[in-house]
């Protein structure tokens, strides 16, 4: 009975996550209604809070899949509580991704939860654990873009529409980057179980630098241009124009907002 109580406690949703959800709801309402005197502030808080929610769900998906695959330790580590402070690399999982959004409007993936892979049997299970996180971003992107591809934007305020477009961009970039087969990212985690021991040993030293490599690569203008052309194409197929994502980011960065979106909104 004590074990059951402890297990239930491990899986109880954290008040920290509930607080982030509350911020998302309140600032989303403020963005929708135009309640805030400065709409950019409301958009900034709404998108940031929603982005953190998606990061928590991303890590939760890894942990929950690991739990059902055999790693029963994820609960005691706090990964099932959705508490962002419980992650092994809170800095990589939450702080840096938020900073990347603020600096460049890129949904850069964060660090992963620590899974005890030795407890898990079967290559497919290992691959699924790695895939669960970015698939969560895909699902989040579908939800954000649904009003656009369902043509259900009637009555949706312009600022909220722009905020959703920018949030969708973050989710699509996060999913795409996470699926890259680069050591340290989920894409590599998906294929790693299928690689030979020799290859895995050769690649292992580079895993801690995978995220840094992606970050540096995206600052290379030629790569950045191609990458965002792909992102714009994906979003366009879902009914979101690059003007909408630009205006969303413009509102988000309220401290340097231009007149373009207010004139063309």
Catalytic positions are 59
DSSP string, the chain: -HHHHHHHHHTSPPHHHHHHHHHHHHHHHHHHHT-SSSHHHHHHHHHHHHHHHHHHHHHHHHHHHHHHHT-TTTTTTTGGGT-GGGSTTHIIIIIHHHHHHHHH------PPP---GGG---HHHHHHHHHHHHHHHHHHHHHHHHHHHTT--TT--HHHHHHHHHHHHHHHHHHHHHTS--TTSHHHHHHGGGS-HHHHHHHGGGGGGHHHHHHHHHTSHHHHHHHHHHHHHHHHHTT--HHHHHHHHHHHSGGG--SHHHHH-
């Amino acid at each position: 009975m004590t074990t059951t109580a402890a297990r239930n406690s491990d899986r109880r949703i954290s008040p920290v996550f509930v607080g982030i959800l509350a911020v998302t709801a309140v600032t989303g309402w403020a963005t929708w209604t135009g309640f805030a005197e400065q709409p950019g502030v409301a958009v900034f808080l709404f998108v940031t809070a929603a982005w953190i929610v998606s990061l928590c769900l991303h890590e939760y998906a890894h942990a929950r899949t690991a739990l059902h695959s055999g790693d029963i330790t994820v609960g005691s580590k706090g990964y099932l509580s959705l508490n962002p402070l419980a992650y092994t690399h809170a800095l990589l999982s939450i702080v840096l991704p938020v900073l990347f959004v603020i600096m460049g409007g890129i949904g850069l993936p964060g660090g992963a939860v620590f899974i005890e892979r030795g407890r898990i049997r079967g290559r497919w299970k290992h691959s699924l654990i790695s895939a669960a996180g970015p698939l969560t971003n895909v699902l989040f992107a579908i939800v954000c873009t649904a009003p656009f591809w369902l043509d259900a934007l009637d009555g949706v305020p312009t600022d909220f529409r722009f905020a959703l477009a920018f949030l969708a961009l973050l989710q699509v970039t996060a999913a795409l980057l996470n699926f890259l087969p680069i050591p340290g990212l989920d894409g590599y985690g998906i294929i790693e179980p299928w690689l030979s021991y020799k290859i895995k040993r050769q690649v292992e030293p580079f895993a801690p630098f995978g995220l840094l490599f992606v970050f540096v690569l995206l600052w290379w203008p030629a790569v950045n241009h191609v990458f965002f052309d792909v992102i714009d194409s994906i979003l366009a197929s879902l009914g979101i124009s690059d003007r909408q994502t630009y205006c969303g980011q413009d509102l988000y960065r309220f401290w340097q907002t231009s007149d373009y979106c207010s004139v063309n909104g």
